[in-house]
Amino acid sequence: MVSTRVDSECWIPPSGVDDLYKATSGNKFAGINRPTAGARGEKVLPVGTAPVQLYSLATPNGQKVSILFEELEELGCPFSYDAHFVNIGEGEQFLSGFVDINPNSKIPACIDQEGPSGKAVKLFESGSICLYFAEKYGKFIPENLAARAAMMNWLFWQMGSQGPMTGQFGHFFVYAPAEQKQARDYGVARYGMEAQRLCDVLNRQLSDRQFLLGDDYSLADIMIFPWFRQLSHGYRHGSGLFAKVFLGVEKYENALRWSERVEARPAVGRGLRVCNFRESEKGSKPWL
């Protein structure tokens, strides 16, 4: 027989989740968090002269795309793009022009104005954007079917595990309301442990190879690198404690060497700076 006794000290859900929303006040993004989709205001997006228009911010998801774009340009592909800031802190991702491209209101979003048959293609989700352009130009994707399948394994690992879990750790470690101590302890423990496990997965894969698939740099490296770099260079708590110290990232020696190898590429260095707030006064491509 299943017991129906409820300990008064245990958590009991209210009748609906709406009753809990007030507990999220104090979150850095609380002012824009809502349980509904759709446009919240009208604004036409800027459009430059390049065939590809990127609307982004230099978060790890945004950096995946801008790194790929810089790599394609460096290879001399018939490719060029304009980049435009989207201030997610101010809710610009919920304005009509952006929502028209991405109904999910997340950066990055993109338009390829020279799509198939000359028709514009709207693109959202960083993995979808990266795969579209890598396939369009035949770069950073293995021709061999088995090698391509291996690459796709890592792309889905990145999109389904590494990015979301690392992002949840970052939320509880840096952005959650300061007074929510118990929730933050639990969230940081749960997602911090998973972030460490995923770093270990990456570290083991790189134990005997230069890049994720072996000797060849691929889309897998491009997409996985920014989120690992976020743990090794970003997520600083208000106390001054960095995630790399808190999680002990130094123990992932293979992954750190790989990360340094990737970041040494000139195109990667530029891609990290696209739509970077710290250099916003210089424009979306600050080296120009």
Q: Between 273 and 10, whose confidence is greater?
A: 273
Q: What is the pLDDT of residues 46-96, one digit of tens each?
A: 999 999 999 999 999 999 999 999 999 999 999 999 999 999 999 999 999
Tokens representing residue 48 in the block: 């430059």
pLDDT at 26 over 90: no
- Predicted confidence (pLDDT) at residue 40 exceeds the cutoff of 70: yes
User: Position 133: which residue type?
Assistant: F
CA distances from 23 to 89, 190, 250 (A): 19, 19, 35
Which residues neighbour 228 within 8 Å (Cβ) at sequence distance 6 or greater? 162, 199, 202, 255, 259
Structure tokens at 54: 């990127």
> How large is the average pLDDT for residues 166-181?
96
Checking if the pLDDT of 122 tops 50, the result is yes
Residue type for position 53: Q
Q: Domains in the chain, start-ordered, CATH in brackets?
A: 52-137 (3.40.30.10), 145-282 (1.20.1050.10)
Euclidean distance between CA atoms 9 and 150, whole angstroms: 48
| 52-56/81-85 β-pairing | parallel
Residue 4, pLDDT above cutoff 60? no
Assess whether pLDDT exceeds 80 at residue 136: yes
pLDDT at 102: 98
**Residue with token string 């709207």:** 122
Question: Is the predicted pLDDT of residue 227 greater than 70, yes or no?
Answer: yes
SS3 assignment for 242-272: EHHHHCCHHHCHHHHHHHHHHHCCHHHHHHH
